[in-house]
């Protein structure tokens, strides 16, 4: 999990929430996302395709389901900050107050709508009672000098509470699971692993003094690709493509992972395999499985070793070929789905 | 094999030396002109790992030799680095990584792939001025090159003792380990004596196991990062290479496209993939290091008041040594046991080499023949076991010198007889300090008479009555 002191010190808790809120917004907008940065013009600043921006204020309350004492004050500060930031950003903007408070305006009607769940409401979709509270906040906060276009404003509620990681991150992890659903990927532990990686990357983006340094879509998507095409995750399909017994397959992967990885990552070798596969495939409806099993001997020279038995070399080549071809398919699929 | 020539390039200066296919004398009026260096460079050019001389660092030298093998193949051997050698024949060219492929190279040059023979061949045909004239049947030829008569005999007679040798090696390794342990146990017992008792503390517990686990994990991550870096480097190099080539390709519809890393399918993907993977591994490394640091602090807090009055490596060592449960007597028994096993394994190897072996008889007969001629003894004073003697101390300087010569001639003859290989004979300073003129003449007479079909190269400050020798005079320094 994201490495940070988990004690309920409000400041730390706030930063942790900000990171997780950024991950949720990032995944919800991944197709059009260009860059992301914490503590840019706003707590969370995202640039989208077509000169569109998302500017978000993240407001966290340690006891978010019971403590509503300061929520309106906090909301008022968020509006002030958003109004100032909006002035500095040209282009279309979405202004978001994202919070873990289950009643961010201390409004019973809104609380009923939220009902403890993740919620996204545009200003226009808020109950009248909430709109009135916002209007009051805007008229009472004399510091807000720039008029806020309320049609750009949304409230997002992201439940995030307790020191128990499982409970605190469950909604964020669900969002990651939904995102992975786009690719039809379901691997044990993958969403937690990605949450760790993204938390670190997003947090790091907020620690750079130079504001021009932002997290790009590539920075976000490639760790996903790496995790997905890791051979451990691919084993079932790869076992099938190699035609090997599962135990033999696992044995070769465990003993020769460095050789397999290095071959699968070297561009010259990968290109050769993919080109060979495409040439064969264009002549007949050749599946990865039949390509691997009918052509593995072509690559024997690349795996020549006096210390390996012939049958081990055969398995090694088959595992490598199937991993290369399946990886390529996964890379293309993920890139295309997130428009990278 | 015949060595026709050697070209040396040292600091941009190039000099070539030509050798007769019969007899060559490398001569200088004074010592320290470079005769030994020239011979060593000759061997270096054949792929051997040969140390440089005081003035000549081989790492800075390029050598090229021209050799003809016994089956008439002409090869040009080009060595510009200690790590590899390129061999050319006609239009083909092959590179050998050294020392990994030295057997492949020498099997091409000498015409045998028997490793026991190839490993010992240098000690058969080359006598170094320093160690060569005291090397009778086992020991160092030069640098890291060794000679062992039993291995040579096994190779020449086709007797494979590799399994026994492996057992012997692992026993020797094991004994080395126990000798180290014995030292540590002696130290432990001396600590106990000085403390008045043997303290045993429980050292390994869950925290230690956790620390060890984390350390292993960190090492594995480090290895993986190194591996990724290497592949990444190689892909980046390829990217630069392709970009620098400025290639243009034509599509089937006649359009010209400039090849860049951006339109080469998958190149940038492969680099982005590795960069992301490296970042993930770096994050794992950071996290694991932080956890390890915390665990080490915990252990330090735990241990400090109880076990360590002073934090030092020596204290940790003492504490660990105290945990070792065996005493010196036990270790000594194990060492003695190992010694017995090594000794009986060596006996087995020796028997497998010597008993009923034609090569041994043949070598013995040749040795006696030449020993008689050089007035060293006859078949009643020289026993068959003398071939394997390790007692050289009883031999005086001149006698040892002649015996060494006789043994080498016997080896050379046997290699020719069994494998049909006509080796060159390379002698550095064969006169020695205690050899008189008569003995020198006797030695040369044998060479002229019985080894006239071998290429003979002698380096010396003296002259020899070799038949029509070509001469290389080193009046000045080697490269002057």
Tell me, what CATH number does B7's domain have?
A: 3.40.50.300
- Is B256 part of any domain? yes
Q: How far apart are CA A118 and CA A96, in angstroms?
A: 14
Task: Give A234-273 as a DSSP string.
Answer: HHHHHHHHHT--HHHHHHHHHHSHHHHHHHHH-HHHHHHH
- Is B168 part of any domain? no
Do B130 and B223 have their domain in common?
no
The pLDDT, as a whole number, for residue B305 is 53
Do B142 and B6 have their domain in common?
yes
Mean pLDDT of B255-260: 87
- Is B284 part of any domain? yes
Give the three-state DSSP class for A153: strand
Cα angle for residues B426, B432, B436 (degrees, 5° grid): 115
Final residue of a domain: which of B247, B275, B305?
B305
Q: Which of B187, B378, B222 is nearest to B292 (CA)?
A: B222
The pLDDT, as a whole number, for residue A231 is 52
Do B140 and B209 have their domain in common?
no
> What would the two tokens of residue B255 be?
């359009």
Q: Rounded to an integer, what is the distance from CA B110 to the centroid of its chain?
A: 18
pTM listed for this prediction: 0.51
pLDDT band, residue B197 (cuts 50/70/90): very low
Final residue of a domain: which of B273, B305, B337?
B305
Assess whether pLDDT exceeds 60 at residue A6: no
CB distance B91 to B105 below 8 Å: no
Return the residue in A230, A265, A328, A340 with the most chain B beta carbons within 10 A, the one to mutate for interface testing: A265
Do B125 and B221 have their domain in common?
no
Task: Give B90-142 as a DSSP string.
Answer: TTEEEEEETTTTHHHHHHHHHS---HHHHHHHHHHHEE-TTTGGG-SSEEEEE
CA atoms within 13 A on the CB side of A35: 13
Q: How far apart are CA A43 and CA A62, in angstroms?
A: 18
Residues of B in contact with A271 (CB under 8 A): 265-267
Report the CATH number that the domain containing residue B291 is assigned in CATH. 1.10.287.370
Round the average pLDDT of chain A to a whole number and report it.
85
- Determine whether the interchain pair B276/A328 forms a contact, defined as Cβ–Cβ distance below 8 Å: no
Residues of A in contact with B242 (CB under 8 A): none
CA atoms within 13 A on the CB side of B281: 21
Assess whether pLDDT exceeds 70 at residue A182: yes
Assess whether pLDDT exceeds 80 at residue A1: no
DSSP A147: P
Do B9 and B127 have their domain in common?
yes
b/e B66-104 (16+ beta carbons within 10 angstroms → b): bbbbbeeeebbbbbeeeeebebeeeeeeeebebeebbbe
CB distance A242 to A292 below 8 Å: yes
Residue with the two structure tokens 């089956």: B71
The residue with greater pLDDT, A281 or B136, is: B136
Q: Which residues pair with residue A33 across a beta bridge?
A: A48
What length does chain B have?
480
Helices (H), B324-385: 328-354, 358-373
- Is B327 part of any domain? no
The pLDDT, as a whole number, for residue B307 is 46
Q: How far are the Cα atoms of A230, A238, A244, A255, A326 from residue A312, in angstroms, in the given order?
A: 21, 16, 11, 10, 21
Do B118 and B237 have their domain in common?
no
Could you tell me the residue range of the domain that residue B422 belongs to?
2-146+418-473
DSSP A296: G
- Is B136 part of any domain? yes
Assess whether pLDDT exceeds 70 at residue B27: yes
Q: Which of B176, B173, B182 is nearest to B321 (CA)?
A: B182
Do B50 and B136 have their domain in common?
yes
**Closest Cα of chain B to A49: distance in Å?**
21
CB distance A252 to A316 below 8 Å: yes
Cα angle for residues A95, A97, A51 (degrees, 5° grid): 25
CB distance A261 to B260 below 8 Å: no
Do B136 and B257 have their domain in common?
no
- Determine whether the interchain pair B266/A261 forms a contact, defined as Cβ–Cβ distance below 8 Å: no
Do B210 and B87 have their domain in common?
no
Mean pLDDT of B173-180: 85
The pLDDT, as a whole number, for residue B468 is 87
- Determine whether the interchain pair B287/A271 forms a contact, defined as Cβ–Cβ distance below 8 Å: no
Residues on chain A bordering chain B, Cβ-to-Cβ distance under 8 angstroms: 3, 196-197, 200-201, 218-219, 222-223, 225-227, 229, 258, 261-262, 265-268, 270-271, 274, 328, 331, 335
pLDDT tens per residue across span A299-330: 998 888 777 888 899 999 999 999 899 888 88
B47 backbone φψ class: left, alpha, beta (φ>0; ψ -120 to 50): left
pLDDT band, residue B437 (cuts 50/70/90): confident
Q: Which of A137, A169, A164, A165 is nearest to A150 (CA)?
A: A137
Q: How far apart are CA B19 and CA A23, in angstroms?
A: 77
pLDDT tens per residue across span B224-243: 888 888 888 888 888 888 88
- Determine whether the interchain pair A218/B272 forms a contact, defined as Cβ–Cβ distance below 8 Å: yes
CB distance B44 to B63 below 8 Å: yes
Residues of B in contact with A3 (CB under 8 A): 287, 290
Mean pLDDT of B370-382: 91
CB distance B6 to B17 below 8 Å: yes
Question: Count of A–B CB contacts within 8 Å?
Answer: 59
The pLDDT, as a whole number, for residue A76 is 93
- Is B464 part of any domain? yes
Give the three-state DSSP class for B293: helix
Q: Which residue of B has its CA nearest to A218?
A: B272
Final residue of a domain: which of B305, B327, B347?
B305
Residues of B in contact with A335 (CB under 8 A): 269
Assess whether pLDDT exceeds 70 at residue B198: no
Assess whether pLDDT exceeds 60 at residue A61: yes
Residues of B in contact with A200 (CB under 8 A): 283
- Is B368 part of any domain? no
The pLDDT, as a whole number, for residue B269 is 86
Q: How far apart are CA B399 and CA B136, in angstroms?
A: 12
Q: How far are the Cα atoms of A191, A221, A222, A302 from residue A326, in angstroms, in the given order?
A: 21, 18, 16, 20
The pLDDT, as a whole number, for residue B207 is 81
pLDDT tens per residue across span A158-177: 999 877 778 889 999 999 99
The pLDDT, as a whole number, for residue B54 is 76
Do B209 and B142 have their domain in common?
no
- Is B371 part of any domain? no
Do B125 and B213 have their domain in common?
no
Residue with the two structure tokens 């296919």: B21
Q: How far apart are CA A226 and CA B278, in angstroms?
A: 10
Number of domains composing chain B: 2
Helices (H), chain A: 10-28, 71-88, 108-114, 128-140, 165-181, 190-206, 217-229, 231-242, 246-255, 257-265, 267-283, 288-295, 310-337
The pLDDT, as a whole number, for residue B309 is 46
Do B136 and B218 have their domain in common?
no
């Amino acid at each position: 999990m994201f490495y940070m002191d988990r004690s309920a010190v409000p400041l730390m808790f706030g930063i942790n929430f900000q990171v997780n809120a950024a991950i949720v917004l990032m995944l919800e907008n991944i197709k059009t996302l260009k860059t992301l940065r914490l503590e840019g013009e706003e707590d969370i600043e995202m640039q989208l395709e077509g000169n569109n921006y998302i500017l978000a204020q993240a407001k966290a309350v340690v006891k978010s389901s019971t403590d509503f004492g300061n929520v309106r004050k906090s909301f008022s500060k968020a509006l002030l900050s958003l109004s100032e930031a909006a002035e500095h950003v040209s282009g279309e903007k979405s202004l978001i107050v994202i919070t873990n408070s289950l009643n961010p305006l201390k409004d019973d009607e809104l609380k009923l709508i939220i009902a403890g769940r993740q919620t996204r409401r545009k200003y226009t979709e808020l109950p009248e009672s909430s709109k009135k509270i916002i209007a009051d906040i805007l008229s009472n906060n004399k510091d807000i000098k720039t008029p806020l276009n309320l049609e750009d404003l949304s409230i997002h509620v992201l439940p995030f509470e307790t020191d128990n990681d499982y409970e605190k991150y469950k909604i964020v992890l669900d969002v990651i699971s939904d995102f992975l659903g786009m690719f039809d990927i379901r691997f044990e532990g993958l969403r937690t692993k990605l949450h760790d990686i993204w938390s670190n990357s997003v947090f790091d983006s907020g620690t750079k003094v130079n504001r021009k340094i932002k997290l790009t879509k590539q920075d976000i998507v490639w760790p996903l690709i790496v995790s997905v095409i890791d051979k451990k995750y691919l084993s079932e399909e790869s076992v099938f493509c190699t035609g090997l017994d599962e135990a033999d397959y696992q044995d070769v992967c465990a003993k020769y992972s460095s050789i397999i990885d290095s071959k699968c990552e070297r561009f010259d070798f990968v290109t050769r395999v993919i080109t060979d596969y495409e040439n064969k495939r264009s002549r007949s409806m050749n599946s990865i499985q039949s390509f691997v099993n009918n052509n593995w001997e072509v690559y024997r020279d690349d795996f020549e070793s006096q210390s390996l038995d012939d049958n081990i070399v055969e398995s090694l080549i088959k595992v490598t070929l199937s991993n290369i071809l399946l990886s390529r398919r996964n890379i293309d699929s993920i890139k295309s789905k997130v428009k990278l | 094999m015949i060595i026709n020539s050697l070209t040396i390039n040292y600091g941009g200066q190039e000099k070539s030396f030509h050798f007769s296919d019969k007899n060559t004398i490398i001569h200088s009026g004074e010592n320290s002109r470079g005769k030994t260096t020239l011979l060593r460079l000759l061997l270096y050019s054949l792929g051997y790992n040969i140390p440089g001389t005081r003035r000549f660092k081989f790492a800075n030298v390029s050598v090229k030799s021209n050799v003809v093998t016994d089956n008439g193949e002409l090869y040009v051997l080009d060595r510009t680095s200690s790590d590899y050698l390129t061999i050319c024949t006609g239009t083909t060219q092959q590179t050998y990584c050294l020392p990994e492929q030295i057997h492949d190279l020498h099997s091409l040059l000498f015409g045998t792939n028997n490793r026991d023979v190839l490993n010992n061949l240098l000690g058969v045909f080359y006598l170094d001025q320093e160690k060569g004239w005291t090397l009778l049947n086992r020991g160092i030829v030069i640098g890291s090159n060794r000679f062992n008569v039993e291995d040579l005999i096994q190779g020449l007679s086709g007797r494979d003792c590799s399994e026994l040798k492996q057992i012997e090696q692992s026993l020797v390794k094991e004994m080395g380990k126990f000798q180290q342990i014995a030292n540590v146990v002696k130290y432990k017992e001396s600590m106990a004596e000085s403390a008045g008792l043997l303290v045993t503390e429980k050292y390994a517990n869950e925290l230690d196991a956790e620390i060890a686990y984390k350390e292993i994990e960190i090492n594995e991550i480090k290895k993986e990062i190194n591996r990724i870096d290497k592949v990444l480097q190689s892909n980046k190099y390829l990217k630069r290479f392709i970009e620098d080539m400025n290639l243009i390709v034509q599509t089937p519809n006649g359009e010209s496209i400039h090849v860049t890393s951006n339109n080469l399918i998958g190149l940038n993907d492969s680099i982005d993939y590795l960069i992301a993977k490296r970042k993930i591994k770096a994050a794992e490394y950071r996290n694991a290091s932080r956890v390890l640091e915390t665990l080490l602090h915990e252990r330090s807090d735990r241990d400090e008041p109880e076990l360590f009055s002073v934090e030092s490596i020596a204290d940790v060592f003492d504490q660990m040594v105290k945990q070792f449960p065996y005493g010196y007597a036990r270790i000594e028994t194990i060492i003695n046991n190992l010694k017995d096993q090594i000794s009986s394994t060596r006996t087995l190897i020796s028997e497998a080499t010597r008993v009923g072996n034609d090569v041994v008889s043949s070598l013995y007969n040749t040795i006696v023949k030449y020993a008689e001629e050089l007035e060293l003894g006859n078949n009643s004073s020289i026993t068959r076991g003398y071939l394997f003697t390790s007692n050289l101390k009883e031999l005086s300087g001149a006698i040892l010198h002649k015996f060494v010569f006789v043994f080498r001639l016997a080896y050379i003859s046997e290699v020719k007889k069994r494998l049909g290989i006509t080796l060159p004979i390379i002698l550095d300073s064969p006169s020695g300090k205690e050899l008189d003129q008569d003995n020198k003449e006797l030695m040369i007479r044998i060479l002229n008479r019985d080894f006239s079909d071998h290429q003979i190269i002698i380096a010396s400050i003296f002259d020899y009555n070799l038949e029509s020798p070509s001469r290389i005079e080193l009046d000045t320094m080697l490269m002057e």
